[in-house]
Amino acid sequence: MNRAAILGSAAVMLAMICAPAQAQFKPAIDTSQQTQRDTARSQQRIDQLDDQTAALLNDYRANVKQLDAARRYNASLNRNIDAQNSEIERLREDIDNVEGLQRAMQPLMEDMVARFGDLVNADLPFMIGDRGARAARLSTILDNPSMSAAQRYRLIVEAYQIENEYGRTIGFYEGTIGDGEDALTGEFLRIGRIALMFKTPDDSELKIYDASAGDFVDLNRSYLQDVKFGLRMAKEQTAPDIFFVPVKPPVSAQ
């Protein structure tokens, strides 16, 4: 037998020996491959569950934060409710006090209105028309059912404030003194509540109100320039400055 024939026979015998061995390991190989596929699917499932767990954990943490915020908000609302309840209780007490105060204020307001007219009548006779009308209006508000006690009191206080301003300011207005043929038209100069003077436009008449006489009397013409300067000050035509005013010396009360 030659060498080629020997090698061919050996190859045939080797193939016959290997064929049963390959058939013997095929189930194991298939099982290993199936195991790898199952492992891959399991890992994929694990990865999916891990992602779901992470998502659920994030949702849980977000919900915990929202719950904490809601609890804090509710606590804040509860504090506001407590404060509002306290304010309601205080307002109820104030309402009860106001009702009592209104009962006490009514006699006071009546006295203030009555004395307001007396104040105007006893004062220097300046702006009699305006002040008399204000006193008349005050006498009607106490019986006005459409006005609250607070509105009545405010109007009374405003009237007294206006009168108080007269005592610390100077002012002027145009008007007339006297009646009939003796009537004179001109300008009045008021110096607080201490002097009320009158001057005609042509400076021919210069008078001052005399409380003891209850009328206007002639004023020494040496005061003419002071009166004219005071009128310019009252009209804001010149800067404030000092000028002479005829004032009677005070007398001691008896």
For 182-237, what is each residue's pLDDT tens digit? 899 999 999 998 999 999 999 999 999 998 888 999 999 999 999 999 999 999 99
| pLDDT confidence of residue 126 | 92
Q: Hey, where are the domains in the chain?
A: 169-239
| pLDDT confidence of residue 8 | 55
| pLDDT confidence of residue 83 | 87
Name which residue leads in pLDDT, 165 or 148: 165
* Mean pLDDT (whole number) for 21-25: 56
pTM of the model: 0.56
User: Is 80 exceeded by the pLDDT of residue 10?
Assistant: no
> Picking from 26-35, 71-80, 109-118, 169-178, which range would have the lowest pLDDT averaged per residue?
26-35
For residue 183, how many C-alpha atoms fall within 13 Å in the half-sphere facing its CB? 6
* Mean pLDDT (whole number) for 232-249: 88
| Per-residue pLDDT band at 11 (split at 50, 70, 90) | low
| pLDDT confidence of residue 16 | 56
| pLDDT confidence of residue 32 | 75
Q: Which two tokens stand for residue 77?
A: 């609302």
Which of 10-19, 108-117, 202-211, 239-248 shows the highest mean pLDDT?
Answer: 202-211
72-126: per-residue pLDDT in tens?
888 888 888 988 888 888 877 766 666 666 677 788 888 899 899 888 888 899 9
| pLDDT confidence of residue 174 | 94
116-155: per-residue pLDDT in tens?
988 888 889 999 889 989 998 888 888 888 888 888 889 9
38-53: per-residue pLDDT in tens?
788 888 888 888 888 8
